[in-house]
């Protein structure tokens, strides 16, 4: 603490000031016989660190109170050199990138496992549907033979209904699984961006069964793969953004602490 003389109610009084310039900030005037201690601290800073030149007391006070050193300049008139900024970003990246990469790897493995299981379950459904269709077709043929109506119009209609029923169930299942796969992939893409989601491409396609009730056997054939999700959704990735923001914040703190070297010992403002 230091004793200062300020003007209060039109009269000079001597008081203890814990922070240099505190009463000035509160609106008091310092007596003409007493200089502002902040000005004295600034003068001391000029002596101890020539790089402080070019920064006004107000600029130093702002940096000290807010931690924002963007307004401070060095002896060249620039806040920080390009090399300083690049070095801070590089350092912040090396500190934060490993954790981000671990999160990306784990989430991608979990997503791939989820999508793989969905595809396995879907393929199991197709296999079961194929077996059931063949069994129903055999039952239909046997019933028609027993009744002597193998070539009747009624039998043809039942075959068509059987075929359409299985085809409709297959399309509904494919749509449902496709939606689930799309949502799973979309969630991942939303977090990590389209580029990362492209790596899941092998899970974005689903096949199906084609049913032909006119054949006694072998009336089920696999259909070609069709896409159920487009990885190009325009997602940059919330985790990517958060990681970049974290890097910028870490770099800013590094520069801020570097910039605090411009301040005198009384005004250090280390940022953790």
Specify the pLDDT at position 204: 87
Specify the pLDDT at position 146: 83
Specify the pLDDT at position 245: 84
Percent of the chain scoring above 90 in pLDDT: 39
Specify the pLDDT at position 1: 55
- Please report which confidence band the pLDDT of residue 264 belongs to, taking 50, 70 and 90 as the band edges: very low
Mapping DSSP to helix (H, G, I), strand (E, B) and coil, where does residue 4 land?
strand
Min mean pLDDT across 4-13, 32-41, 74-83, 193-202 is at 32-41
Spacing of C-alpha 142 from chain mean position: 60
Tokens of residue 213, six digits: 């009730």
Specify the pLDDT at position 152: 81
Between 21 and 170, where is the model more confident?
A: 170
- Please report which confidence band the pLDDT of residue 121 belongs to, taking 50, 70 and 90 as the band edges: very high
> Measured between alpha carbons, how far is residue 191 from residues 124, 195, 231, 239, 247 in Å?
30, 11, 13, 5, 17
pLDDT, tens digit (0-9, with 9 covering 90-100), for 123-180: 999 999 999 999 999 999 888 888 887 778 888 899 999 999 999 999 999 999 999 9
Min mean pLDDT across 22-36, 100-114, 191-205 is at 22-36
Distance CA 166, CA 210 (A): 9
Torsion angles phi and psi, residue 68, rounded to 5: -90, 110
Distance CA 269, CA 206 (A): 59
pLDDT, tens digit (0-9, with 9 covering 90-100), for 63-115: 666 656 566 665 556 665 667 767 878 998 999 999 999 999 999 999 999 99
pLDDT average, residue stretch 205-220: 88
């Amino acid at each position: 603490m230091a004793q200062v003389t300020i003007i209060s109610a039109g009269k000079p009084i001597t008081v203890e000031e814990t922070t240099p310039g505190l009463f000035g900030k509160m609106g008091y005037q310092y007596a003409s016989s007493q200089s502002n201690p902040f000005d004295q601290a600034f003068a001391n800073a000029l002596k101890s660190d020539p790089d402080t030149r070019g920064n006004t007391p107000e600029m130093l006070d702002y940096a000290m109170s807010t931690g924002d050193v963007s307004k401070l300049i060095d002896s060249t008139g620039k806040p920080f050199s390009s090399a300083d900024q690049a070095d801070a970003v590089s350092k912040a990246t090396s500190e934060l990138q490993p954790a981000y990469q671990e999160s990306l790897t784990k989430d991608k493995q979990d997503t791939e496992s989820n999508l793989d299981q969905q595809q396995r379950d879907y393929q199991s459904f197709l296999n079961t549907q194929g077996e059931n269709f063949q069994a129903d077709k055999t039952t239909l043929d046997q019933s028609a033979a027993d009744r002597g109506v193998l070539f009747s119009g009624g039998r043809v209609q039942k075959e068509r209904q059987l075929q359409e029923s299985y085809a409709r169930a297959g399309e509904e299942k494919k749509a449902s699984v496709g939606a689930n796969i799309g949502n799973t992939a979309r969630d991942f893409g939303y977090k990590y961006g389209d580029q990362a989601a492209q790596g899941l491409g092998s899970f974005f396609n689903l096949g199906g069964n084609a049913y032909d009730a006119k054949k006694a056997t072998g009336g089920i054939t696999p259909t070609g793969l069709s896409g159920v999700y487009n990885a190009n959704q325009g997602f940059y990735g919330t985790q990517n953004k958060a990681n970049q923001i974290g890097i910028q914040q870490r770099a800013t703190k590094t520069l801020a602490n570097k910039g605090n070297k411009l301040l005198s010992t009384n005004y250090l403002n280390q940022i953790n």
